[in-house]
Amino acid sequence: MATPHALLPKGQEQDVHIQTTFPDLVELDALRLTVIVDNEVDIMTSVPKELGLTTQAQVLFKDKRHLDKEKSTATSTGAGAATVEHAYDHQASQGEGGPVRTIGFDFNDLCCGAHGLSILVTGIRGQIEHRILFDTGPHSAIFLENAKRLEIPFEKIETIVLSHWHVDHSGGMLAAVAKCVQARKDVKNGPDKKPASVNVDVHPDRPYQRGICLARPPPPSFPGTVHSERGGRVTPPGAEKADRPITSEYVAWKADPTIQELEAAGAKVFHHRDAHVISEGFFGVSGLIPRNTSYETGIPNHMQWSPESRCWVPDPDILDERYLVARVKGKGVVVLSGCSHAGIVNVCQDVQRAFGMNQAATEINQESSSSGDGNLAEVAEESTMVESDDDKGVESSNKLFYVVGGFHLAGSSVETRIAETVRDLGKISPSYLAPGHCSGWRAKAALENAMPGRVASLGVGSDFFITAPASSSKARRTRNIK
């Protein structure tokens, strides 16, 4: 079993607990999460009320531009045909009780899904608001398109936090930086006179390029070589020019933007290896996430290119990943995890340690080496039992409230971990979870089965608004409704 210290760079084997605490993190009155990029489009599935979800479709329904439009138009473009405008006149519509209002709805206004993650995070405390961007999706086109549809206020984004160096999170970063800088320039004569540059918070270990090793092909049989009738080997004409047989195949992902490119776009880059807070303590960014569970072993065939030795080298752990935390008064800690390559149970355990709520973590550590059968009914029962701790006086604002992001449980090499992950998340028992991005439908279904009513979809355009309850007693009442 890997120990946290075994994974620390040499010379940094100090207490992990100290590295991952957030002493300056303040409690927020409200936290808003606006999903700009995710793999999923889901404007229909219901979500627990306490998460304050407004889907993008609901925003469009309420949008004044649509309400006022009593004459709507639709555009259709057939293959090879000219664009045709259809006008629909609802002005004279009458229902039994009086005039009827018709809302125009154009599916072109909805965000599109893409493999990646990007979430606008807004913290509210009294009259003060801070906004940061957590990841930027896989490429600029999808990031900009969805951001435009969601009317993201780029001039108010203070920092772009990159969870880890993977292009499905960093691919839109240059575009995001450029948009923030331009938006600030556009309002520089306005009341808040923000500097034009935008902060970018990254881990210092940017790899040259990352990728995966495909399954090795069968042992090579040189296609140009045949056996002669006399038992010798001959090479047909031209075959000697053939390439040497391939022994391994790698897929190189598009490289992450370089620090130079980010700076040229207008970013002020901050390198952080350790846990720290940003935006006046509204948000915390983790340091190295300790790997404690026996089954969360990264991506076995994940590689990075070594420019020094000019070869692909194993990189299963993706040690540069960090998570983001915020704390909502009376609700608890909200965690955003980009891909959870450290394992979402390890992420949650680290959050528990950082906030001094580590009882469940200890229990899991003791059991993680034994093979769990992941019986989902048992998980549900255990999860209910852990929930009852609320009534024993555990401060609800120091509970794990909402775990959001990619849980990386999709793909044959990691789907075998679903049962154990669900079992241990059940013990940790966050109030709510939103497995998105690379979580995969099998993990989502297993989580919903184990913790019914506590799992939300993280579809693009979703706008979660988590607010402090009016009083702690009300908070306790609300938490009992699952």
Q: Which is nearer to Zn ion, 136 or 431 (CB)?
A: 136
320 sits near Zn ion (criterion: CB under 5 A): no
Q: Which is nearer to Zn ion, 266 or 436 (CB)?
A: 436
**Number of neighbours of residue 427 by Cβ within 10 angstroms:** 19
**Number of neighbours of residue 62 by Cβ within 10 angstroms:** 11
Question: Shortest Cβ distance from residue 163 to Zn ion (Å)?
Answer: 8
Q: Following CA atoms 423, 427, 433, 436 in sequence, which dihedral angle do they give, to the nearest 10 degrees?
A: -30
Question: Shortest Cβ distance from residue 435 to Zn ion (Å)?
Answer: 13
Beta pairing, strands 276-278 & 283-285: antiparallel
Question: Shortest Cβ distance from residue 439 to Zn ion (Å)?
Answer: 10
Question: Shortest Cβ distance from residue 18 to Zn ion (Å)?
Answer: 27
Interface with Zn ion by CB under 5 A: which range of 162-170, 387-395, 425-433, 471-479? Answer: 162-170
Q: Which is nearer to Zn ion, 146 or 429 (CB)?
A: 146
What residues from 221 to 260 belong to the interface with Zn ion (CB under 5 A)?
A: none
Interface with Zn ion by CB under 5 A: which range of 3-11, 30-38, 139-147, 167-175? Answer: 167-175
Question: Shortest Cβ distance from residue 48 to Zn ion (Å)?
Answer: 25
- E strands, 90-145, in order: 94-95, 98-99, 118-125, 128-134
Over the range 240-263, which residues count as b (16 or more CB within 10 Å of their CB) and which as e?
eeeeeeeeeeeeeeebbbeeeebe
Question: Shortest Cβ distance from residue 77 to Zn ion (Å)?
Answer: 34
Q: Which is nearer to Zn ion, 304 or 397 (CB)?
A: 304
Q: Locate 106 and state its tokens.
A: 């154009």
166 sits near Zn ion (criterion: CB under 5 A): yes
Question: Shortest Cβ distance from residue 344 to Zn ion (Å)?
Answer: 13
Cα separation, 236 vs 215, whole angstroms: 30
Question: Shortest Cβ distance from residue 457 to Zn ion (Å)?
Answer: 17
Interface with Zn ion by CB under 5 A: which range of 143-151, 260-268, 295-303, 337-345? Answer: 337-345
Q: Which is nearer to Zn ion, 168 or 315 (CB)?
A: 168
Q: Which is nearer to Zn ion, 357 or 434 (CB)?
A: 434
Q: Which is nearer to Zn ion, 26 or 36 (CB)?
A: 36
**Number of neighbours of residue 325 by Cβ within 10 angstroms:** 23
DSSP code of 416? G
Q: Is 291 exposed, middle or buried (0-12, 13-18, 19+ CB in 10 A)?
A: buried
Please list the residues that pair with 434 across neighbouring strands: 404
3-state class of 4 per DSSP? helix
Element (H, E) at 161: strand 157-161
Q: Which is nearer to Zn ion, 130 or 166 (CB)?
A: 166
Q: Which is nearer to Zn ion, 34 or 39 (CB)?
A: 39
Interface with Zn ion by CB under 5 A: which range of 39-47, 121-129, 307-315, 336-344? Answer: 336-344
Question: Shortest Cβ distance from residue 226 to Zn ion (Å)?
Answer: 46
Find how far residue 204's CA is from the centre of its chain: 20
Amino acid sitting at position 344: I
339 sits near Zn ion (criterion: CB under 5 A): yes
Cα separation, 155 vs 146, whole angstroms: 16
Cα separation, 32 vs 55, whole angstroms: 13
Interface with Zn ion by CB under 5 A: which range of 34-42, 133-141, 158-166, 370-378? Answer: 158-166
Question: Shortest Cβ distance from residue 465 to Zn ion (Å)?
Answer: 25
Q: Hunting for tokens 């620090």 — which residue is that?
A: 259
Residue nearest to Zn ion (CB): 339
Question: Shortest Cβ distance from residue 65 to Zn ion (Å)?
Answer: 34
Q: Is the dihedral of CA 66, 70, 71, 74 positive or negative?
A: positive
Interface with Zn ion by CB under 5 A: which range of 173-181, 208-216, 338-346, 426-434? Answer: 338-346
Question: Shortest Cβ distance from residue 336 to Zn ion (Å)?
Answer: 13
Q: Which is nearer to Zn ion, 339 or 450 (CB)?
A: 339
Q: Which is nearer to Zn ion, 168 or 382 (CB)?
A: 168
135 sits near Zn ion (criterion: CB under 5 A): no
**62 CB-near residues (< 8 Å, 6+ apart):** none
**Helix ranges restricted to H, 207-358:** 259-265, 344-354
**Number of neighbours of residue 426 by Cβ within 10 angstroms:** 24
Q: Is 415 exposed, middle or buried (0-12, 13-18, 19+ CB in 10 A)?
A: middle
Q: Locate 167 and state its tokens.
A: 């292009």
What residues from 168 to 187 belong to the interface with Zn ion (CB under 5 A)?
A: 168
| Count of residues near Zn ion by CB under 5 A | 3
User: Is the separation of the CB atoms in 168 and 137 below 8 Å?
Assistant: yes
Q: Which is nearer to Zn ion, 161 or 328 (CB)?
A: 161
Interface with Zn ion by CB under 5 A: which range of 119-127, 150-158, 165-173, 184-192? Answer: 165-173
Which residues would be at the binding site for Zn ion (CB under 5 A)? Answer: 166, 168, 339
